[in-house]
Amino acid sequence: WNEVLEFNRNMVQEYLDNQAELAVKTKIGYESGLKIFFYWVKEHLNNKNLLDIKKKEFIRYLNWLTNRGLSDSAIKFKKSCVSAFCNYVMMMYEDEYPTFRSFVTSEMKVVKTGYVHEKVPLTPDEYVMLCEELERREEWQKLAYLVFSYSTGCRRAEARQLLKEVVDYEPKEKKIKVVDEDGVEHEAVSKSYQTHTIRCKGSSIVGKPRKLKFGEDAMQWLKKWLEERGEDDCPYMFVIKKKKDGSVRQVGEDTFNGWCNKLFASIVGRRVHPHLFRESRATNIVVYEKKSAEVAQKLLGHNDVSTTKNHYIIKENEDDESDEAFI
């Protein structure tokens, strides 16, 4: 990055410093996207000044991304990073650079690469098998993380915020009416716990504050993990212990990635990632437990049920409704 033209580097930094409305993680993504682009400019356009970049040259960049095997969504995001940056330069430097026009236009279509991972949620049987194997191996922290993430349907950034103190919280019991498999309505008791306030994904910088609900099974393994962990000064539930000095610190999100990519995937026998637990929870609530999409929506914290239906509930036979056309 230090080899990139100083003018381009300074303009990118100024742009990032003035994006107060962007959430922290979004801002990190924009910084990455812009650095990748201007490093490409250094390598392929002889470190050209951004004011002189042409539309056809940006198309070359999009083609370069495509040829590297990026997904459609990844390319679109990188395109939008540069587009927003150009719009900022046009607006803020109208007097200094009156002839500058964005070299990114809506007519530049992103090629559908098809490089996407198929969403295959964990079935209830796979989830139980994974839990049982982690218990057999006495991987208490990983088991606690798995069950908590699945129970709440939370994201990895939300799971890492969990505090040890939740094991002292009292459960909340509520009588609700449910309909059994025979269509008979009866009363049941719902027992769950709530976390402290956690910063969840949202449009604002600080995110959307929520208290996540989780079940008795998650509480059981959280307590087991803390029992095995012993006493230390770190307030967070999921931690990394350093062997050299014995210090304990809060895990990073990449730690969860590592658990999933290596251990969990080897047990299940296919790709596993932290967000899979969220998708699996939503899918299993609707497909296997026969509850409404609205139940999954409220658990996951979506503002609109269509988000839950379109992106989180994955059905194997979504085309079944068209079968009658072939009678």
Q: pLDDT digit string (tens) for 194-206?
A: 999 999 887 555 5
pLDDT of residue 289: 82
Q: pLDDT grade, residue 307 (50/70/90)?
A: confident
The per-residue pLDDT for 184 is: 75
pLDDT tens, residue by residue, 273-305: 999 999 999 999 888 888 888 888 888 888 887
pLDDT, position 118: 74
Strands 185-200 and 248-250, by their bridges, are: unpaired
Query: With bands split at pLDDT 50, 70 and 90, how would you rate the model's confidence at 132?
Result: very high
User: Does residue 127 or residue 321 have the better pLDDT?
Assistant: 127
- Residue 211: its H or E element: strand 208-214
Residue 22 identity: L
Q: How confident is the model at residue 322 (pLDDT cuts 50, 70, 90)?
A: very low
Query: Lowest mean pLDDT: which of 2-6, 28-32, 69-73?
Result: 69-73
Which residues are within 8 A (CB) of 261 and not within 5 positions of it... i.e. 6 or more apart? 272, 273
The alpha carbon of residue 282 and the mean position of all alpha carbons in its chain are separated, in whole angstroms, by 15
Cα–Cα distance for residue pair 182/132, rounded to 1 Å = 31
Per-residue pLDDT of 20-66, as tens digits, reads 877 777 888 999 999 999 999 999 999 999 999 999 999 999 999 98
Q: Which of 78, 98, 81, 79 is nearest to 90 (CA)?
A: 98
